[in-house]
Amino acid sequence: MLGGLLVAVPITAVASASEPDWSACLEGPADRQAVFERAAETSGVPAEVLLAVSYMESRWDAHGAAPSTSGGYGPMHLTDLPALAKGTQAHPDPLGKGDGSHQARTTRQREEAVRLGEVETLRTANDITGIPVADLREDAVANICGGAAVLADYQKAAGGAEDLADWSAAVGRYSGAADEATALKFARQVFATLSTGESRTTNDGHRVTLAATPVSASEEAVGRLGLAESGTGEAVECPAVLGCESLPAPYEQTGDTIGDYGNHDLASRPEEGSVDYIVIHDTETSYDGTVRLVQDPTYLGWHYTLRSVDGHVAHHIPGKDIGWHAGNWYVNSHSIGLEHEGYAADGAWYTEAMYQTSATLVRYLATSYAIPLDRAHIIGHDQVQGVAPANVAGMHWDPGPYWDWSHYFDLLGAPIKADRRARSEIWTVHPDFDTNTGNLMTGCTEEGAPCPSDRGTNFVNVYSEPSVDAPLLPDTVVGGSAKVSNWGPRLAAGQKVVVNDRTRSDWWGVWFGGKQGWIQNPREVLLPSAGKVVTAKAGTTAKVYGTAYPTKAGDYPDGVTPRTIAPLQYTIPAGQKYVLADAKVPTDYYKANNFNCATVDGVPDCIVITGDTVYYQIWFNHRIAYVMADDVTVTNG
């Protein structure tokens, strides 16, 4: 059984015997703290419970008419499934893989996958309060009142409450979870927030505080909901507190030849081959659509899928095995892939429940595989280079500009911060996500149309000249357009860059992708950082690679064709410097061509082929890249 210490705490708001007057909840100061207090008084939901639930959904933020990635609105994340389904046609490429042979399978649409019909909380709030649906979606005051109404109704159905812990029932049901383990996980997250307290200024300028009230979630109260048992099992590699579900990805032969199989490869990591990266993806379809795809033996495979509304985790592939998720075989062979329910282009926001669950899972994986908790190893899919020049332009850009890397690393316990007091030539990008709203982007919902300008983003633009009127710095391959999908001229939170010109107060020069670029207002977004830099050896330019494969024919066993080591379209010109991200890069190629690792013509399969060429991982443009040690010189930054 899942246990926890229960602490009886008196309830600070008690439901009245008469029907609540919801007009009283709507009237009064719009200050968010006052609204929560008023909603608690009107509904009978303890203010601290209401605040803790809202924090776990939205961190008390208001997003106007913008839904979350699971169709939730406002500080209370009231879910509205008809509105979610309207966006279906804008997303013809679930998972954003663009993988030719699989395109026929990527037209599954949101409405066939949505599983939340029984917890459409926005309509429930409308039924209880009579507050118009449009107001519940877009007005923060109405939204908080509506969320309080739903929680009160859920607790009434669960038999009422004598103390705060009893409210675990309403909290667990509010999550939308269909199984007891996930509902309890969400309740524990909420009550952990209640126990420690929180205080922050929201994205629209309201200061909200939740005082610490030590109390634990009640497993007994959640058990009264009568939810199904979870699908956990021995194969689940996950912290017990998350209650992860086992949904294995199939490893099956799909054709007549021994090379026709999917959707991942067998391996023996970390005993043979290392796990060095965790790749953060978004799904570009619903949670249910995603787990359908990963259970298709002819599709692609990744290790975990996370659901937005409650942070539920499904585990698909053992960490020892290699998923097909990053579009770069070298990165695949050294990584674990996490798909998060979401859409990179919409400006839709990710729930706190999913951020916190993901961070808990990543900490567990990082500890299990000795992966550094930094932005060189906890990477977005958008940071993965093409394996060869022909692949660079088609590489993907999720989780996109609306994933809050700074908050995520706070949750990981590895905050993005300055690690050097003196001025350095190495600087780490760290824009304030909530206030970083001025970056021009186009094409979020309509080709060529500006994206919403009031939503926080995780990046700063790199310009070709020190002026906002100058063009964005064009990447050698993908150019410098302002399309939401164009990672080319962007530096995201946590990425590192060498500053080479600080003569202007508002603009600093940086080396970026083999070119000279400019960043505006660096003192607000760049933090001085320690580290080392690489430069091309005197009189040369250094080649840049998308893999760290063995380079010599003699490295490969008889019968195995050596990999082609093709430099990318980029170089490091003489005199330019780039930040060293990792000086201990594995030089290897994992050969996996046959179903069940069959030996064919005496040539073994599922083997790690190593070489002695030394590579370094560097920060180059928006992405990670590799250089050969023989081509560069390493010095202190």
Domains, the chain, in order of start with CATH, read 22-80+120-223 (1.10.530.10), 233-401 (3.40.80.10), 425-478+485-530 (2.30.30.40), 535-636 (no CATH)
Length reported for the chain: 637
Q: How many whole angstroms separate alpha carbon 581 and alpha carbon 531?
A: 8
Phi, psi of 171 (to 5 degrees): -65, -45
Q: How many whole angstroms separate alpha carbon 336 and alpha carbon 357?
A: 16
Helix, strand, coil percent values for the chain (each to nearest 5): 30, 20, 50
- Of the candidates 551, 564, 547, the residue with the CA atom closest to the CA atom of residue 617: 547
**∠83-66-105 over CA atoms, to 5°?**
55
Q: Both tokens of residue 370?
A: 């000795």
Per the DSSP assignment, residues forming a β-bridge with 179 are 228
In tens, the pLDDT along 293-318 reads 999 999 999 999 999 999 999 999 99
End-to-end Cα separation, the chain, in angstroms: 53
pLDDT score for 234:
60
**∠416-418-421 over CA atoms, to 5°?**
170
Helix (H, G, I), strand (E, B) or coil at 463: strand
pLDDT score for 235:
75
E-strand spans in 217-334?
A: 245-246, 252-253, 261-262, 264-265, 277-282, 304-306, 313-315, 322-323
- Of the candidates 161, 175, 310, 159, the residue with the CA atom closest to the CA atom of residue 224: 159
Q: What is the DSSP string of 183-238?
A: HHHHHHHHHHHHHH-EEEE-TTS-EEEE--------HHHHHTT-PBPP---TT--S
Q: How many whole angstroms separate alpha carbon 586 and alpha carbon 601?
A: 28
Which of 6-35 are b and which e, b meaning 16 or more Cβ less than 10 Å from the residue's Cβ?
beeeebebebeeeebebeebbeeeeebbeb
Residue partners of 16: CB distance under 8 A and separation at least 6: 44
Could you count the other beta carbons within 10 Å of the beta carbon of residue 180? Answer: 20
Q: How many whole angstroms separate alpha carbon 340 and alpha carbon 164?
A: 32
Is the CA virtual torsion 198, 200, 202, 208 positive or negative? positive
Q: How many whole angstroms separate alpha carbon 406 and alpha carbon 525?
A: 12
H/E stretch holding 377 reads none
Q: How many whole angstroms separate alpha carbon 76 and alpha carbon 24?
A: 18
Residue pair 277/334 in contact (Cβ under 8 Å)? The answer is yes
Q: How many whole angstroms separate alpha carbon 369 and alpha carbon 259?
A: 29
- Of the candidates 381, 282, 378, the residue with the CA atom closest to the CA atom of residue 339: 282
Helix (H, G, I), strand (E, B) or coil at 411: helix
pLDDT score for 547:
98
In whole angstroms, how far apart are CA 52 and each of 12, 49, 75, 167, 580?
A: 14, 5, 11, 11, 41
Q: How many whole angstroms separate alpha carbon 184 and alpha carbon 240?
A: 12
Do you find a cis peptide bond into 270, omega within 30 degrees of 0?
A: yes
User: To which residue do tokens 């030996």 refer?
Assistant: 599
Q: Both tokens of residue 577?
A: 């410097």
pLDDT score for 231:
59
Residue pair 475/395 in contact (Cβ under 8 Å)? The answer is no
pLDDT score for 579:
98
User: To which residue do tokens 């600093």 refer?
Assistant: 508
Contacts 24+ apart (CB under 8 A), 600-607: 600/258, 601/559, 602/559, 603/557, 603/558, 603/559, 603/560, 604/557, 606/265, 606/266, 606/267, 606/268, 607/272, 607/557
Single-letter code of the amino acid located at 202: T
**∠175-177-179 over CA atoms, to 5°?**
145
The stretches in the chain having pLDDT less than 70 are 1-18, 82-119, 230-234
